[in-house]
Amino acid sequence: MRHSSRLSIALYGLLLCVSARADGALHSLWELHGKHNTVYLLGSIHVLRASDYPLAPAVLEAYGNVSSVLMEINLEETGSAQVQAEMLGSAILPEGKTLPDVLGPQRFEHADRLAREVGVDLSMFGQFAPWFAAEAVSQLQLAQLGFQPETGVDMYFMERARNDGKSVAGLETVHDQIALFQNMSLDAQADYLVASLEQAHDLPREVDSMVHAWKRGDTQWFETQMLSELGRDPRLYQSLLGERNRKWVPKIEALLREDKNYLVIVGTGHLVGQGSVIDLLKKDGIGATQR
């Protein structure tokens, strides 16, 4: 889903206290220590280019040290007919409503003009909810730039775990993620679509900068991006990042009480800044070292 890409760009917070390696080389990877195990937290970019591989040795080493992988959702579930049907059902507007109706004439005209500027005819989404149109347009743009979910960090490690006989699980379900947008009012979804289209011209530059920052573990870049994005809709941030962080932290803390090692992979936005998973763990007395 598209919030996995742009919202991984839209991160916020203050400077994060982390421990750096002596050589100064950092990655979007943190290490937590339980009494008998290690839990690695890897910030993900959910869509990548094939040319962005191989991943850093430190990241591959962390994967090699674990027997289980947790992600935001278990991607193996997304292929089921039931999940596909739920996703499609959530994307379609209620009977009798169309995208132009929801946006209204003036807002739809503005949105359609913005979409055409990046090569998309918004009328093709006439029966779809605004959140889905926003996600779809961004995915189309990303695909044109060579970014594909199939080459994203999550999919890469799911395939490796499957081949290596390691277990894969999710911190939440596909239903949970679908509900994030379904619970938004149609008017809020319309604003989200327009805001997304207004940023569409900047997406190629933003996403390229994001990949470079992610590769070098540049938390400051992400924090600066979120300081800019947060003011646009703090309620959306809380729904898509903040509230989910608070739900995930107890699950991650529970992992630290086990005997085996885990790799937890979530969008990088969940690991950086005030209110992030790292920040909430720190408040609970659990330190994390950036590697």
Helix (H, G, I), strand (E, B) or coil at 171: coil
Q: Identify the burial level of 229 via C-beta atoms within 10 angstroms of its C-beta, where 0-12 means exposed, 13-18 middle and 19 or more buried.
A: buried
CB hemisphere CA count around 249 (13 angstroms): 22
Averaged pLDDT of the chain: 87
pLDDT digits over 215-243, tens only?
999 988 887 787 676 556 777 778 888 89
Predicted pLDDT of residue 132: 94
Can you tell me the distance from the alpha carbon of 98 to that of 69, in angstroms, rounded to the nearest whole number?
A: 41
Residue 32's contacts (CB-CB under 8 Å, 6 or more residues apart) are 38, 39, 40, 41, 252, 256, 281, 286, 287, 288
Report the chain's terminal Cα–Cα distance, integer Å.
Answer: 28
| 3-state SS assignment for residue 33 | strand
- Alpha-carbon gap, residue 56 to 171, rounded angstroms: 24
Q: Which residues of the chain have pLDDT under 50?
A: 1-24
Do residues 234 and 263 make contact, with C-beta atoms less than 8 angstroms apart?
Answer: no
Tokens at residue 257, please? 């009480």
pTM of this structure = 0.86
Long-range contacts of 107-116 (CB under 8 A, 24+ apart): 107/190, 107/194, 110/194, 111/193, 111/194, 111/197, 114/194, 114/197, 114/198, 114/200, 115/197, 115/200
Q: What does the pLDDT read at residue 13?
A: 27
Pairing of strands 29-33, 289-290: antiparallel
Q: Where are the alpha helices (DSSP H) in the chain?
A: 3-9, 57-64, 81-91, 99-103, 105-117, 130-144, 153-164, 174-182, 186-198, 203-215, 219-230, 234-237, 243-255, 277-283
The pLDDT, as a whole number, for residue 102 is 96
Q: How far apart are alpha carbons 235 and 243 in whole angstroms?
A: 10
Q: Burial of 224 by CB count in 10 Å (0-12 exposed, 13-18 middle, 19+ buried)?
A: middle
Report the DSSP beta bridge partners of residue 150: none
Bridge partners (DSSP) listed for residue 262: 39, 68
Instruction: Indicate the domain borders of the chain.
Output: 3-290
pLDDT for 21 equals 33
